[in-house]
Structure 1
Amino acid sequence: MADKQISLPAKLINGGVAGLIGVTCVFPIDLAKTRLQNQQNGSRLYTSIDYFVNDVIENVCFSLSGAAVNLTLVTPEKAIKLAANDFFRYHLSKDGQKLTLLREMLAGCGAGTCQVIVTTPMEMLKIQLQDAGRIAAQRKLMPQSVAPGGPVEVKSPTAMQLTRQLLKEKGIAGLYKGLGATLLRDVPFSIIYFPLFANLNNLGKRGADGPAPFYVSFLSGCIAGSTAAVAVNPVDVIKTRLQSLTRGSQEDTYSGVTDCIRKILRHEGPTAFLKGAYCRALVIAPLFGIVQVVYFLGVGEYILSYLPKRNN
C-alpha cells in the first residue's frame, strides 16, 4: 500500500541517518571489495579474504581510507535514494492501491537515477583513497613492476587534495568520471532491490496495514541487498576500474565501458567480472538491512515533530 501522505524532509532525514549508521558498520569490507576488484592478473596481491589478515589487521588505521568521504557524502546519497523511491512509489500508486511489479520497478529506476548525482563523485574519491594502499603494497612486493629510475614513494592524498586536483585539471567532469557505469550499476540495482525488499517485507507485516517487525525489515534488506549486489557486480567491477586514476605499471588503463569490457575479457577472462562479489554481498546485505531498520524507525518524523510549526 502506498502511504496516505509522504513527508519528504522526514524521509530525507531518515535516509541520511540510516546511511551513516549502515556505512560505518560495513566500511572495512567495502575497502576489501574495492581492492579485490581493482587488482589485475600479473599484479595480484589479494587472492581471498586473507586480505583482512594480511592488510587490514596489520594496518588498521589505513583501512579507514576513504571513510571520511563515504561518511560525508553517504548522508545525501542514501537520503536521495530512499526518499526518491518512496516519492516515486507514492506518485505511481493509484488511489492507494497496491503497486504493480512494473510500477515498483519504475520507482526503483527513478531512485537509482536520482542518486548518481551524489554517488558518482563519492565513489570516485572513495576508490582513489581505498586503492592507494594496494598500489603502495604492490610497489613494495613487486619491485619488477617499478618504473625505471627506482621506486617512488607515493603519499596517499586527502579527499580535498584529490577534489582540488580533479577540479583544476578536468573541471566538474573530473568528479563525474564513470558516470555512465555508475548509472548502469545503480539503476538495475534499485530496480531489483526495492521491489524485492518491499514484497519480502510485506510478507512479515502484522495485519493488512500494520508495520513489519524490525527483524523482518532487517532480513528483507539483507536478502534483497545481497541479491541485487551480486546481480550487478560485473558492472561494479567496470565502474571501479574506470574510476581508478592510479595503476601499477603492468595494469591496463581503459578509455570507456566498452574498452574496459574488452580488455578484461581478453586478459583476465569472464570470471574477472565476479571479483569482489562475495565482499560486495557482505557489504550490501548488512548495510541495507541496517539502513531499512533505521529508515523505518522514523527518526525524521520524530525530529520534525519537535520543531516549531510555522503558522500560515
Structure 2
Amino acid sequence: MLAGCGAGMCQVIVTTPMEMLKIQLQDAGRLAAQQQKPVMASPSKLVATNTLLSRSYNSGTISAMMAPQPMSATQIAKELLRTQGIRGLYKGLGATLLRDVPFSVVYFPLFANLNRLGQPSADQASPFYWAFLSGCAAGSTAAVVVNPCDVVKTRLQSLSKGSAEETYSGVVDCVSKIMRKEGPSAFLKGAGCRALVIAPLFGIAQVMYFVGVGEYILDNSPLSVLSP
C-alpha cells in the first residue's frame, strides 16, 4: 500500500498537465455548441444584429465570426503558461492526488492478493489469464472506489464555463456544491464507463508484465551491455 501511494504521487506529477489538456479538448465541442445557441432578443437588437451580419457577409468575414476556432493542445498549454504560469497546468492537482493516490493504494494490494489465489503452488506463478483477470478486477474496483474524486477533479479542471454553469474555488467548495445541488449520486456519474475503461487497461498491463516484455527489451538494449 505504501509502494502504491508513492507510485500514485509520482504519477500525478507527470499526468496532471495531460489531464488538464485532455479535459479542455474534450469540452471544446460542448462550449462551441452552447455559444451558437440562439437567444431571445428585443426587436431593436435583432435589427442591429442583422445589420451587422449583412455587413460582415458582404465583407466576407461572416464565416470567421460564426465558426468556432478550435485550439490544439499545444495552443492551450501555451495560453495557460502565458496567463497563469506553471500553476495553470497543475490546476486541480489536489483533486488528482485524491484520485490517483487512493487508486494505487487500492489497486496494487488487491491485485497482489487476487493474483496469489491463482498460483498452483507457493513457488509457481499464476497463469497469464489469471493475471489478466486479476488486473481487470482490481482496476475496475479501484476505479469505482475513487470515482467521486474523479468527478471533483473533472469539475475543477474544466476552465471554460457556460454562463449558467457552476464555478468552484477548490475541492471543498466543489464537494459541498455538488452534494447540495445534485445529491450523493452525482459522485458516481461515469463510474461504470470508467470501470470498463480501466479494467482492460490494467488487465493488459499485467499480462505484458507477466510475459516480460519490459525485461526482454531491457535485456536486449545497448544499456544491458554496460550493466555489471
TM-score normalised over the length of structure 1: 0.61
Hey, what does 1:310 align to over in structure 2?
226
Match of 2:114 among 189, 200, 205: 200
Encode CA deviations 1:175-232: one digit per residue, 9 max, x unaligned: 1111111111111111111100111011112322322212111111111111111111
Encode CA deviations 1:65-114: one digit per residue, 9 max, x unaligned: xxxxxxxxxxxxxxxxxxxxxxxxxxxxxxxxxxxxxxxx1111111111
Match of 1:221 among 135, 150, 160: 135
Q: Compared with structure 1, are the counterparts of its residues 164 and 144 closer, same or farther at alpha carbon in structure 2 (3 Å cutoff)?
A: same
CA-CA distance at 1:287 after TM superposition: 1.1
CA distance in 2, matches of 1:183, 1:144: 40
CA distance in 2, matches of 1:311, 1:138: 58
CA-CA distance at 1:123 after TM superposition: 0.6
Match of 2:26 among 114, 124, 130: 130
Hey, what does 1:260 align to over in structure 2?
174
Hey, what does 1:188 align to over in structure 2?
102
Match of 2:82 among 168, 192, 195: 168
Structure ID, larger Rg: 2
Hey, what does 1:113 align to over in structure 2?
9
Hey, what does 1:283 align to over in structure 2?
197
AA matched with 2:10? C
Q: Between the two structures, name the one with larger relative contact order (CA 8 Å, sep ≥ 6).
A: 1
The gaps in structure 2 that reach 5 residues or longer are 50-64
Alignment of 1:36-185 (within 5 A): 105-140=1-36, 143-144=38-39, 153-185=67-99
Q: Compared with structure 1, are the counterparts of its residues 187 and 301 closer, same or farther at alpha carbon in structure 2 (3 Å cutoff)?
A: same
Hey, what does 2:211 align to over in structure 1?
297
- Structure 1 or 2: larger helix share? 2
CA-CA distance at 1:152 after TM superposition: 5.9
TM-score normalised over the length of structure 2: 0.82
The gaps in structure 1 that reach 5 residues or longer are 1-104
Count of residue correspondences = 205
